[in-house]
Amino acid sequence: MMVNKNKILVVDDAVSLVSAIRDMLEPEYEVETAFNGEDALEILRKFKPDLILLDVMMPGIDGYEVCRRIRSDRAFGFVKIIMVSGRSMLEERLKGYDAGADDYIVKPFKAEELLAKVRVFLRLKSVEDQLSELNHTLNEQVRMRTEQLIDAEKMAAIGRYAAGIVHNLNNPLQVIMGNAQLLAMKHPDNRKIMSLRKAAAQMRKIIGTILSTSYRESRSECMNIDLNEVLKDQMELLKASPFFKHRIRTEMRLRPLPTYHGIYAHFSQSIGNLIKNAVDAMHEKEKGVLSVSSSIEGGTIVIKISDTGRGISKEKMGKIFNPFFTTKPLTAKDDRPTGTGLGLASSKEMIESYGGEILAESEVDKGTTFTVRLPIN
Ligand SMILES: Nc1ncnc2c1ncn2[C@@H]1O[C@H](COP(=O)(O)OP(=O)(O)OP(=O)(O)O)[C@@H](O)[C@H]1O
Ligand SMILES: [Mg+2]
């Protein structure tokens, strides 16, 4: 790893002392020099040192004043300041600390002493920098996640209204269906009217499924659930998407299952999310196959959801169940899949609360299979 040299600014009006200190520090550090307070403040802005060796007695503004000005300017961050003085009186030292200096060294000093102090304060500076960097990253993460949560909450609100909206579609749909039926009686052989009736019937089925699932989802008590029905309903709901309708072929192999005792939303949401992920994964493919199967192995219900999509790399495989891990944008103007990265994390939690598990196998560019295993209850 390339390590940048720490930067030190040496400020002293004694030219010979400055060059002596420079020689001492130069091999290990990047050194700049200034011979008075004004120049020091000027150089500071461009050079951005990690540490300043600052002489107290200088013509013009003295070391204390330079120190105070540096400390009053937030742009200089947490630069370390060591005051250099010919006087070792306690009063002098205190004045230095008061002005904001970190330490004090008295002329004449030994090279070792100066180097030791410089090292200590640079180490401190680097720890502080790391902390502030970490703090910044954390703040950034909190900001991002808050944004994501707000968005997820917005989506949830839309979901809460959806049932009402969908319900209101029923009436106009009745009108369309009624008139289509009348037309069909008048022109029994008209294919356009036939397809109109078929489309309307499909819409009614989708609306019915949304209403019945949202009703069941709104109930938080345990009930007897037919997991095959959940699978069928979740697939049915996808038919509303044109992408799904035209580019995805579905295969379903469902074996009879014992009714499952649990909260409906846990299963509709986790299975729904696995299916949605599978469809999303095939978004860039011209054609895709979504296979869903259910079976019983020993005392366990096994549900498999497979796609022929982009797959998941080994590296990402370790992260997909982490909350907020997503490769999808939060929002998109086109019809690209979007996500919050909460789907798998919450699905896993829901399935595990029944003593079950979700496993994933994948091959990049070939496809992915998610397996849900639930102990029969
Ligand atoms: N079937 C799959 N094929 C390929 N990648 C997948 C599949 N399922 C999940 N992933 C990857 O795992 C990530 C996390 O999935 P998860 O369902 O938790 O979140 P999401 O789908 O991105 O967003 P959300 O479900 O919250 O809307 C996805 O962004 C995707 O990269
Ligand atoms: Mg998802």
DSSP string, 331-371: --SSS-----S-HHHHHHHHHHTTT-EEEEEEETTTEEEEE
Unique residue bearing structure tokens 């397809």: 195
Average pLDDT over residues 348-354: 91
Å from CA of 363 to ligand 1 middle:
15
- What percent of the chain clears pLDDT 70, i.e. is strictly above it? 97
Nearest CA to ligand 1 atom 8: 277
Q: Determine which helix (DSSP H) or strand (DSSP E) holds 152, and give its type and residue range.
A: helix 111-186
Question: Could you report the per-residue pLDDT of 44-81, keeping only the tens digit for each?
Answer: 999 999 999 999 999 899 999 999 999 998 888 689 99
| Residues near ligand 2 ion, CB 5 Å cutoff | 273, 277, 343
Closest ligand relative to 281 C-alpha: 1
Quick one: pLDDT band at residue 3, thresholds 50, 70, 90? low
Quick one: DSSP state of residue 102? S
Cα of 16 vs centre of ligand 2, distance in Å, is: 68
| Domains in the chain: ranges and CATH | 7-109 (3.40.50.2300), 141-218 (1.10.287), 221-377 (3.30.565.10)
Nearest-10 Cα torsion for 53, 59, 65, 70: -50
Cα–Cα dist 142/148, whole Å: 10
| Residues ≥6 apart with Cβ < 8 Å to 71 | 99, 100
Of 35-39, 144-148, 322-326, which one has max mean pLDDT? Answer: 35-39
Tell me the CA–centroid distance for residue 146 and ligand 1, in Å: 19
The pLDDT score that the predictor gives to residue 211 is 80
Cα(274)–Cα(358) distance, integer angstroms: 10
Q: What is the pLDDT of residues 297-313, one digit of tens each?
A: 999 999 999 999 999 99
| pLDDT tens track for 208-246 | 888 888 778 777 789 999 999 999 999 988 887 888 888
Q: Which ligand is nearest to the CA of 322?
A: 1
Q: Which ligand is nearest to the CA of 279?
A: 1
* Residue 228 DSSP SS3: helix
- Identity at 261, one-letter amino acid code: H
Q: Is 54 left (phi over 0), alpha (psi -120 to 50) or beta?
A: beta
Nearest atom, ligand 1, residue 309 CA = 3
pLDDT of 4 strictly over 90:
no
* Distance, CA of 205 to CA of 40 (rounded, Å): 78
pLDDT band at 155 (very low <50, low <70, confident <90, very high): low
What is d(CA 173, CA 204) in angstroms, rounded to the nearest whole number?
A: 7
Residue 2, pLDDT score = 52
> What would the two tokens of residue 194 be?
């036939």
Residue 118 has pLDDT above 60, yes or no: yes
Entry pTM: 0.58
> Which range has the worst mean pLDDT, 11-25, 157-171, 181-195, 274-288?
157-171
Residue 1, pLDDT score: 47
Which of 145, 238, 277, 320 to mutate to test ligand 1, by most ligand atoms within 8 A of the CB atom? 277
Query: Is 168 within 8 Å of 210 (Cβ atoms)?
Result: no
CB 322 within 8 A of CB 343: no
Calpha distance 287→224 (Å, rounded): 36
Cβ-proximal residues to 56 (8 Å cutoff; 6+ apart), any chain:
62, 63, 64, 83, 84, 85, 86, 87, 92, 96
User: Is pLDDT of 147 > 80?
Assistant: no
**Atom of ligand 1 at shortest range from CA of 152:** 26
Report residue 125 CA to chain centroid gap: 30
Ligand 1 centroid, distance to 165 Cα (angstroms): 28
| Protein residue whose Cα sits closest to atom 11 of ligand 1 | 320
- Mean pLDDT for the stretch of residues 145-153: 74
Q: Give the integer Cα–Cα distance in Å for 189 and 193.
A: 8
Tell me, in angstroms, the distance from the centre of ligand 1 to residue 238's CA: 17
Taking the centre of ligand 2 as the mean of its atom positions, its distance from the CA of residue 270, in whole angstroms, is: 9
How many angstroms separate the alpha carbon of residue 286 from the centre of ligand 2?
21
In the chain, what percentage of residues exceed pLDDT 90? 62
Residues in contact with ligand 1 by the CB-under-6-Å rule are 273, 277-278, 281, 307, 309-312, 320, 325-328, 339-345, 368
Most confident of 6-20, 135-149, 191-205: 6-20
- Our mutation pick for probing the ligand 1 site, out of 344, 361, 371, counting the most ligand atoms within 8 A of Cβ, is 344
Paired residues of 226 in beta bridges: none
Q: What is the β-pairing status of strands 51-55 and 80-85?
A: parallel
SS3 content of the chain, % helix, strand, coil (to 5): 50, 20, 30
Ligand nearest 307 Cα, by number? 1
